[in-house]
Chain A
Amino acid sequence: MKTDIKLAWRNLWRNKRRTLIAISSIIFSVLLASWMRSMQEGSYDSMIGNVVKFYSGYLQVQDTAYWEERTLENSMEVPPELKQQIKGIKDVTLVSDRLESFALAANHQHSKPAMVLGIEPEAEDQITAISKKIKEGEFLKTGDNSVVLGRELANFLGLSVGDTLVMIGQGYHGVSANGLFPVKGIIKHPNQDFDKRLVLMDINAARDFYSAYGLSTALVVMTGDHYQVNHLKTDIGNLLSPKNTVLTWAEMQPEIEQLIQSDRGSGIIMLGILYLVIAFGMFSVIMMMVKERRREFGVIHAVGMRKRKMAVVVLFETLFIGIIGCSVGLIVSYLFCLWFYFHPIPLTGEMATATIQYGMEPFMFFSIQPSLFYNQMILVFFISLFIAIFPVISIFRLKITSALRA
């Protein structure tokens, strides 16, 4: 085996320039593939980060019936110790109660159905950074009995900061809910639908309004990034009673997940084309290396080297090219994408404006998830294994007499 490896290694450097070109092509391919995937996954990370910060959070604990039928009747009591236990789970960064329902929002002339969201103001602000969206007045504080309105809703009702909002609705167990609430602030929510309907208030004020004392419709759980969501779902699920469930952002917003999957699919098709080019490049180099040594193969077979052993040598040669190219490609790609991770590409012009309008940062973000890089490496490694089949076949078909005449 040692001599086979030595022979393969030295054969590799017979034509240094050609081998270096083959290795370089793999390095650049791994780099390009990793860069593409890093940019793609970085944009998904950013999109998911923004989506969860709009409203849902990464995970929500709810009553099992709430997601299908969002009424106060399907709200839940959250024992303080459960909240503490969830906060204690590794990677959980924040836990916040919400009470969500509907009411008719009105002034003296107009009325409109509104989405009433009772929140823990300070915690909610950490989840959605909603105080930054305030356009008039101030954001809520714990214990406030006032409201913050979406700008379009405020415009429709003709309300501004300091005015009074009238709300009429149905509370817990069918009791009537009505109240007058001073408008403390007006936000411009990036989601237009929310902007037209949203009424924010302190969760305790909302509980009083709906007579839903001690109840929540959801417990929003935040973490560092969406890669932690699956294990958190399991960990949190283990703490819950059968009456409660935990939903991930993807379960709550399947259309986002589907959008990502379909975009990822098109990216993978592009990668497939790229890998096809890599495969043909490697194939041509390996076949050239084998074809130009036909006579030599004939000689070493004549003097007693079995074809199987010759095939092993060629296999080693192919693997060496693949391994060197992939390893260097992996290191270069990681460093390259790491730089872009810390220095995302700024967007300009209309694209930047549109991105800002959607409440996102105007940058092209990159991901440095290790799997993005080693997956490329593993793939190229298997491509090189696959390519090795062809020279191996040509060795098994070798006829000594015609090889010696080559």
Chain B
Amino acid sequence: MKIIEIKNLKKTYEDNSIPVHAVNGVSLSIEEGEFTAIVGPSGSGKTTLLNIIGGLDDASEGTVTINGVEINRLSSRKLTDFRMNNIGFVFQAYNLIPVFTAKENVEFVMHLQGAKKEHREARATELLKAVGLGEMMDRRPSKLSGGQQQRVAVARALASKPKFVLADEPTANLDSKSTENLLDIMEQLNKEEKITFIFSTHDQRVVNKARRVVTLEDGKIKSDITKS
């Protein structure tokens, strides 16, 4: 089942009055349960593409349809709610709320969704256990390593039961062991929970784990390979 459909997507911005085509006519479909890596050199448009898919940035042209909803047409407020209910985000720099504990960070999105306290606590505990942080739930981000913070970020991304998770360079700041650990967790969640993951990455280890690899160059799809 198609959950994301991108048609002729373009994003142009001006740099010193010179138009730059960050994304230049990308069309792409993502099926439910995919584990997809979007790769390419710096400036190829990976992050811009991910931002537009995630409703964080506007497209200059083209459409992004998620689960049948054309997100370009949503008002700012509806788009915010749409992101909350449909998309999980994992950022390169973890970006946890520093004044909340790991558990509170995971609960945060559920709180925004209006979930009851008992439900929030139970799901946050379950997710943190799933990412191997059952013993560190009450620690604040400053008391966790980079790898542990990124695992909390994954748990946070999954807390709202999203249709898919967008991860922008999730392993860029992690050492090898933490990267392996994180990828294993995400792969397991993908296989067991059928959660769709879309990564933008430079990391070959992520590419190796991905079952589909979309390569961008100069804002265009250069190749789109699904591994057997």
Q: Quick one: which of B98-132 are within 8 Å of A by CB? A: 98-100, 108-109, 111-113
* B109: A residues at CB distance < 8 A: 303-304
In the complex, whether A291 has a CB less than 8 A from a CB of chain B is no
Q: Could you give, for residues 384-404 of chain A, a 1 whenever the CB lies within 8 Å of some chain B CB and a 0 otherwise? A: 000000000000000011001
Q: How many residues of B contact A (CB 8 A)?
A: 26
Residue from A3, A7, A304, A404 within 8 A of B80 (CB atoms)? A304
Interface string of A277-312 (1 = CB under 8 A from B): 000000000000000000110011111111101000
Name the CB-closest residue of B to A308.
B77
Q: Are B83 and A302 in contact (CB under 8 A)?
A: yes
Interface pair A404/B112, CB less than 8 Å apart: no
Interface 1/0 per residue, A65-95 and B, CB below 8 Å: 0000000000000000000000000000000
Whether the pair A401, B57 counts as a contact (CB closer than 8 A) is: yes
Number of interface residues of A (CB under 8 A): 21
> Is A306 a contact of B100 with CB atoms below 8 Å?
no
Chain B residue contacts of A299, Cβ below 8 A: 89, 91, 95, 97
Q: Which among B76, B84, B97 is the interface contact of A304 at CB below 8 angstroms?
A: B84
Q: How far is the CB of B11 from chain A (nearest CB, A)?
A: 10
Contact A400 B77 (CB under 8 A): no
Residue of A nearest to B88 (CB): A303
List, in ascending order, chain A residues with CB within 8 A of B98's CB.
Answer: 14, 296
CB distance from A19 to the nearest CB of B (A): 12
**Which residues of chain A are near B91, meaning CB under 8 Å?**
299, 404
Interface residues of A in 1-60 (CB under 8 A from B): 3, 7, 10-11, 13-14
A13 to B100, CA, bound (A): 12
A-B contact pairs, 15 of them (CB 8 A): A301-B80, A303-B83, A303-B109, A304-B80, A304-B81, A304-B84, A304-B109, A304-B112, A304-B113, A305-B80, A305-B84, A306-B77, A307-B80, A401-B56, A401-B57
Which residue numbers of A lie inside 8 Å of B, CB to CB? 3, 7, 10-11, 13-14, 295-296, 299-307, 309, 400-401, 404
CB-CB nearest 10 A-B residue pairs: A304-B84, A10-B99, A299-B95, A400-B56, A401-B57, A304-B112, A3-B111, A303-B109, A306-B80, A304-B83
